[in-house]
Structure formats: C-alpha cells, structure tokens
Amino acid sequence: MRHYTSSVFSPDSNRIVSSHSSTVRIWDAITGTEMAALSGHKGRVTSTLFSPDGAQILTASNDRTARIWCTTTGGEITVLRGHERGLISTAFSPDGGRIVTVYNDGTAWIWDATTGGKIAAFSGLTQPVTSSSFSPDCTRILTVSDQGTARIRDVATGVEIMSLRSAEYRLTSAIFSSDGSRILTAADDGTARIWDATTGSEIIAFRGHEGKVTSAVFSASGTVSSPPLKTVLRGSGT
C-alpha cells in the first residue's frame, strides 16, 4: 500500500495530484484513473500543488529542488535550483507569476514562475521556516517558523511588516483570507485565531479541540463580509 505525503485537487476539481516518495501522479478525480506520473525528483517529494489556472503543477522535494510540470503532458518545464538543503514547502502567488520556496534553515526564496529565475531571498530569519504563502494581492508573504511565529514581509523589499506571536501558545500554520484583510492561524493550544492583517491584533479565537490544531483554512467565500466567515479546522484533537 502506498502512503501519499501530499495530495490536492486542481482548481476545477477534475484532477488530483499526489506524491509518493519521489514520484508525483495526476489522477482523474471522477474516475480515479491515473493520468500521468511525473518522475524527476531524486528525493522524497514534500509538497505538491496546482498553479492557479490549473495548467501547471509545482512540486518541492528534499533533493533541494522545486519543479514545475505541464499538467497536460506531464513533462517537466522548469527546475528551481539553489537551495542547500531539502525543501519544506512551496507555493504559487495568486496570479501565478511567482513562486516561494522555503527550507528549514530559516530561508525563503521567491522565484519568477515563467523564467525560473530567483527574484529575492529572505535569509537570516530567527527560526527555521516551515511554511509560507502570498497575500491575495501578491505584495506580502506570510511565513511560519518552527518556533511558532508568523511573520508578514514585503515581497519587494523583504522587510518584516509585523509578526504574530504569543508567549502562551505556539502557532503551527497561517494563511491570508481571500480579501487579504485577515489572517487565520492554527495553534498547539487547540485553537485557531483570526487576526487583523493590518494591525496584527487578534480578532477572535475558535476553541473546542482537545489537542493541537495543525492546520486551518478559510472557505472559498471566507471573507469578513457577507456571507459569514467560515473555517475548516484540522488537528489532533476532537
């Protein structure tokens, strides 16, 4: 039996991409038929995702590379090289023009998704970065460290704008709302929290899990205006 390390739906929900060891596979989400196998990584694949338009797949691996693949042919388009250690995660910007990669020495790199050229590197962060994502307008990048601090940085300059942190709990993940005005975090105290992305102030805490919450996401309509904000929380507790 295969144990998949990462899987995600395409934007149109018709396909699924999953990874097992160093191989990535594309599946028909309706029939379950395997459509293509993407081979090229020399180490375990740690992250897989579709581009916003569904035309490409982005993968990260502990072989120190990220790779862009054609969804239709399964062919490799670009290899992003330069990291000195295995990659933890990677993400497209919402407009599909940029890519961020992170690994656990405290460095995040931004790349041009078309040329594969490196645009910027955020190095010297105080703790190793475990995940990262872009704001909806692509002007900010949100990173979470393994010490539980979420930081917002200016994409153009790399300057830190603010950080979200509490001495009472450790953050495990963070994500922007679809309008960029809020940030949703998960924490190891069994809660998820919504923050104001401009001021950094905590707005509301969701409690009820009995164990650590490892991930939290907004629904597709998860803005702070009508319809009401909704969240999906995943963790080790009930």
In a domain, 121, yes or no: no
- Determine the length of the chain: 238
User: Is residue 146 pLDDT above 70, yes or no?
Assistant: no
In a domain, 172, yes or no: yes
In eight-state DSSP terms, residue 229 is P
Non-local CB neighbours of 218 within 8 Å, separated by 6+ positions? 175, 177, 178, 184, 229, 230, 231
The total domain count for the chain is 1
Confidence class of residue 229 from pLDDT cuts 50, 70 and 90? very low
In a domain, 73, yes or no: no
pLDDT tens-digit profile of 8-29?
Answer: 899 999 999 988 778 889 999 9
In a domain, 206, yes or no: yes
- The tokens describing 24, both together, are 């990535």
**Which residue range(s) make up the domain with 234?**
166-238
User: Is residue 107 pLDDT above 80, yes or no?
Assistant: no
Give Cα 122 to chain centroid, integer Å.
16
In a domain, 220, yes or no: yes
In a domain, 229, yes or no: yes
Lowest mean pLDDT among 65-74, 101-110, 184-193: 101-110
For 208, left (φ over 0), alpha (ψ -120 to 50), or beta?
A: left
Q: CA–CA separation, 28 vs 9, rounded Å?
A: 10
pLDDT (0 to 100) of residue 123? 64
In a domain, 29, yes or no: no
- The tokens describing 55, both together, are 């035309």
- pTM, 2 dp: 0.77
pLDDT (0 to 100) of residue 126? 57
- What percent of the chain is modeled with pLDDT above 90? 28
In a domain, 232, yes or no: yes
Average pLDDT of the chain to the nearest whole number = 81
Q: CA–CA separation, 25 vs 160, rounded Å?
A: 37
User: Is residue 35 pLDDT above 70, yes or no?
Assistant: yes
